[in-house]
């Protein structure tokens, strides 16, 4: 009897591939093993998801598995089932998701190296080549290159054709090789038991919450909760629950926003849990990541801490899954394979029958609604500070900073108190424009006005990063370009310096401090009172270790509000709350919000730190407009060079959707919010439906029939 294996490969396809298991490999291969398989003249690594002896379609010339890479299955059936559910929910490819869960070196594939032969060398002298062949050979004259690099560098269409011709003429040598490294490179484990430094001083309501969770926790039932309260109190409850999980000998998964993957968090965990904890984050070296992965996989650690991708970590037997700062959008992966780690955490916890705990001081409207309805939401706000807040109505035409703000700044400076100013807009001006003909420089690839950055005197596209030197004369009419509109953080910094030349002001944004290390440095300077006023963007608001101040100024939070996004109000509210978090708890601390929309409910309720008030209003709007959580919402984004063919593609897609739809609202096709990005046009279709099942049905049927360059984003 022949044995066959269904193998899943990292391709953007909803498809498995069938291979013959050669007799020599029969005893080795298992479901969950990595296998090296021939695929289109190359070798790729796949995961075995099924082994069978029958049910093989006839007339298919199957290939044999080349090698089994694992002595024992690398991926458990639980993990397979979890990733499958996640990929189905987000219309992502299962194979790509599985690949994303593994360190890159664990997924070897054929690498092609091209080099010039002696014969090719001669051919170069004899001039019997086409222009393109010549270009390729000249490039390879320097040194051998990989085909991928050559393709990027030469930007030639049908390069593969040229290469195969050159190869058959023996002008180049093609070397194909697969590097399979051994996985046995584990860091030796320090076995000394760590003295866990844990302080469980829970106040009354935190204790109530923790206690209720623990009472219903039997180690074999999936249950989920929401902790609504300030971060310090949430953390105390988390640690209480972590201890509980550890006594039950269960593992813990602790998700934090991307931005929080800082040294301080790492230190906190290593101090508390020592070698029990593994940390994952995006800026880790490949080597460290492999080591941490192996430690988690071999159950050497009890707690895994990391950003969204940590939901794909190989921890087994989870007892507790924590998602802190649940409102944070960095949990949503927008690139393929797209997924939302928040719902990922749900699938994961359910799979392992673990306890799932979300937490935030400003929850998403969706979660607050859902958990409130189920009575699984704990409000642990009691005893929190009474901040004095003030909304200053001000139109920017009358100057960037209102007189009232300036007066407060002056007072703080006199009292030698540090101040934090937030303005959620990078650069000096979001666009510049000619005062005569209104010409505005735009990105050549993205259809977006270029932002002026004064620090390096350049115009920058905030979508693709393309930049050019500032232009002073209008290319249309020759007039001087002078108007600067949509003033950003650099303008605020300049204004503060101009008003208060004697004090130390510093900007804090991704342009000043891109790397976490530089951010830490600036935070440290502020900590040591070497800076009087920090002017920052969202990046500053997210800094965990910033010392508390008695004056926080938020400028024009409506910059977030104007986004054409159904979550704009929520984002506005949340960004103010983020900023207000840096206020000290004493009586005199003050939050000032300067805005041109003083009556907008998201700004009003944020000023009073009144989440419930905000939620009550926002949920009405969501219900009225059929937005999540009252509907499930999916965005299908099409990208292409040619707008006309895009239009046809999307119209066809839309009419197919309509054919298969039952109770699905279809919006569009319409130009996406960013109509052009990196030289590609973008058109989107939005789907909304009360029942996820209806939406699923329509989309699945349509996708079966259509193949186009598109990206699917599931919002809820």
Q: Which is nearer to DNA, 160 or 264 (CB)?
A: 160
Member of 1, 23, 27, 41 binding DNA (CB under 7 A): 41
Q: Which is nearer to DNA, 42 or 212 (CB)?
A: 42
Site for DNA in 625-664 (CB under 7 A): 641-642, 645
388 touching DNA, by CB under 7 A: no
Binding part of the chain for DNA, among 16-24, 73-81, 321-329, 596-604 by CB under 7 A, reads 16-24
Q: Which is nearer to DNA, 130 or 616 (CB)?
A: 130
- Whether residue 586 contacts residue 605, with contact meaning beta carbons closer than 8 Å, is answered with no
154 touching DNA, by CB under 7 A: no
CA distance 114 to 111: 10
Q: Which is nearer to DNA, 30 or 109 (CB)?
A: 109
Member of 142, 395, 528, 707 binding DNA (CB under 7 A): 707
Site for DNA in 61-80 (CB under 7 A): 61-63
Binding part of the chain for DNA, among 158-166, 397-405, 434-442, 521-529 by CB under 7 A, reads 158-166
13 touching DNA, by CB under 7 A: yes
**Which residues touch 277 (CB under 8 Å, ≥6 apart)?**
269, 270, 301, 302, 303, 304, 305
Identify the H or E element spanning 228.
Answer: strand 223-228
Q: How far is the CB of 43 from DNA (least distance, A)?
A: 10
Rg (alpha carbons) of the chain, rounded to whole number: 29
CA distance 716 to 703: 19
157 touching DNA, by CB under 7 A: yes
Q: What is residue 662's DSSP assignment? A: S
CA distance 464 to 678: 6
705 touching DNA, by CB under 7 A: no
12 touching DNA, by CB under 7 A: yes
Alpha-carbon distances of 263 from 80, 227, 274, rounded to whole Å: 32, 25, 14
Q: Which is nearer to DNA, 77 or 642 (CB)?
A: 642
Q: How far is the CB of 285 from DNA (least distance, A)?
A: 24
Member of 128, 160, 221, 655 binding DNA (CB under 7 A): 160
Identify the H or E element spanning 89.
Answer: helix 77-90
CA distance 383 to 444: 54
Alpha-carbon distances of 229 from 5, 511, 663, rounded to whole Å: 50, 32, 38
H helix runs in 415-500, sequence order: 489-499
CA distance 177 to 43: 9
Member of 158, 195, 201, 285 binding DNA (CB under 7 A): 158
Q: Which is nearer to DNA, 77 or 157 (CB)?
A: 157
18 touching DNA, by CB under 7 A: yes
Site for DNA in 471-530 (CB under 7 A): none
Q: How far is the CB of 199 from DNA (least distance, A)?
A: 49
Half-sphere exposure of 603 (CA within 13 A, CB side): 22
Q: How far is the CB of 175 from DNA (least distance, A)?
A: 14
**Which residues touch 362 (CB under 8 Å, ≥6 apart)?**
327, 573, 574, 577, 578, 611
CB under 8 Å, gap of 24 or more: what pairs does 496-499 form? Answer: 496/401, 496/409, 496/421, 496/533, 496/535, 499/401, 499/406, 499/409
Member of 104, 149, 161, 176 binding DNA (CB under 7 A): 161
Residues at the site binding DNA, with contacts judged by CB under 7 A:
11-13, 15-19, 37-41, 57, 60-63, 130-132, 147-148, 156-158, 160-161, 164, 336, 641-642, 645, 707, 709
């Amino acid at each position: 009897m022949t044995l066959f294996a269904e193998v899943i490969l990292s391709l953007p396809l909803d498809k498995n591939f069938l291979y013959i298991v050669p007799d020599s490999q029969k005893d080795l291969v298992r479901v969950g093993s990595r296998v090296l398989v021939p695929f289109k003249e190359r070798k790729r690594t796949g995961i075995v998801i099924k082994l069978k002896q029958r049910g093989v379609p006839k007339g298919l010339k199957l290939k044999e598995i080349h090698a089994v890479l694992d002595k024992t299955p690398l991926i458990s059936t639980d993990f397979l089932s979890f990733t499958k559910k996640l990929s189905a929910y987000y219309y992502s490819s299962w194979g790509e998701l599985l690949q994303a869960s593994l360190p890159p070196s664990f997924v070897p594939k054929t690498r092609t190296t091209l080099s010039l032969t002696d014969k090719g060398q001669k051919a170069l002298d004899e001039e019997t080549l086409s222009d393109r062949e010549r270009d390729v050979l000249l490039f390879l004259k320097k040194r051998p290159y990989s085909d991928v690099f050559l393709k990027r560098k030469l930007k030639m269409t049908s390069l593969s054709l040229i290469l195969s011709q050159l190869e058959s003429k023996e002008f180049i040598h093609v070397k194909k090789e697969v590097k399979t490294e051994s996985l046995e490179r584990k860091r030796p484990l320090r076995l000394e038991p760590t003295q866990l430094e844990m302080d469980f001083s829970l106040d009354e309501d935190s204790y109530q919450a923790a206690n209720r969770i623990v009472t219903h926790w039997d180690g074999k039932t999936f249950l989920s909760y929401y902790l609504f309260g300030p971060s310090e109190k949430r953390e105390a409850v988390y640690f209480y629950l972590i201890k509980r999980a550890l006594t039950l000998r269960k593992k813990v998964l602790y998700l934090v926003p991307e931005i929080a993957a800082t040294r301080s968090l790492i230190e906190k965990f290593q101090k508390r849990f020592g070698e029990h904890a593994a940390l994952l984050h995006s800026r880790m070296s490949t080597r460290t990541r492999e080591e941490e992965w192996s430690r988690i996989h071999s159950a050497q650690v009890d707690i895994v801490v990391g950003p969204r991708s940590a939901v794909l970590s190989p921890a087994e037997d989870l007892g507790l899954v924590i998602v802190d700062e649940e409102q944070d959008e960095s949990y949503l992966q927008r690139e393929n394979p797209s997924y939302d780690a928040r719902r990922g955490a749900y699938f994961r916890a359910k799979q392992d029958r673990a306890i799932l705990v979300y937490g935030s001081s400003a929850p998403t409207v969706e979660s607050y609604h859902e958990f409130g309805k189920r009575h699984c939401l704990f409000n642990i706000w009691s005893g929190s500070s009474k901040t004095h807040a003030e909304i200053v109505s001000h139109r920017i035409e009358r100057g960037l900073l209102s007189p009232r703000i300036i007066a407060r700044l002056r007072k703080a400076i006199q009292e030698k108190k540090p101040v934090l100013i937030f303005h959620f807009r990078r650069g000096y001006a979001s666009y510049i424009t000619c005062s005569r003909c209104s010409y505005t420089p735009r990105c050549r690839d993205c259809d977006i006005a270029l932002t002026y950055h004064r620090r390096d005197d350049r115009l920058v596209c905030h979508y693709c990063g393309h930049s050019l030197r500032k232009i002073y004369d209008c290319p249309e009419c020759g007039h001087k370009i002078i108007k600067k509109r949509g003033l950003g953080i650099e303008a605020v910094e300049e204004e503060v310096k101009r008003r208060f030349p004697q004090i130390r002001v510093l900007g804090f944004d991704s342009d000043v401090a891109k790397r976490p290390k530089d951010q830490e440095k600036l935070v440290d300077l502020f900590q040591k009172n070497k800076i009087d006023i920090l002017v920052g963007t969202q990046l500053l608001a997210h800094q965990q270790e910033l010392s508390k101040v008695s004056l926080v100024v938020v400028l024009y939070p409506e910059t977030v509000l104007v986004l054409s996004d159904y979550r704009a109000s929520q984002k506005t509210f949340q960004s103010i709350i983020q900023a207000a978090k840096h206020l000290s708890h004493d009586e005199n601390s003050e939050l000032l919000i300067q805005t041109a929309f003083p009556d907008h409910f998201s700004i009003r309720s944020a000023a009073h730190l009144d989440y419930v008030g905000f939620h009550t209003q926002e949920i009405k709007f969501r219900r009225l407009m059929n937005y999540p959580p009252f509907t499930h919402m999916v965005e299908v984004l099409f990208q292409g060079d040619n707008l006309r063919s895009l239009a046809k593609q999307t119209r066809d897609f839309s009419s197919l959707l309509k054919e298969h739809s039952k109770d699905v609202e279809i919006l569009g096709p319409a130009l996406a919010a960013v109509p052009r990005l990196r030289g590609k046009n973008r058109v989107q279709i939005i789907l909304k439906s009360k029942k996820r099942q209806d939406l699923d049905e329509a989309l699945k049927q349509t996708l079966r029939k259509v193949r186009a360059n598109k990206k699917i984003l599931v919002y809820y």
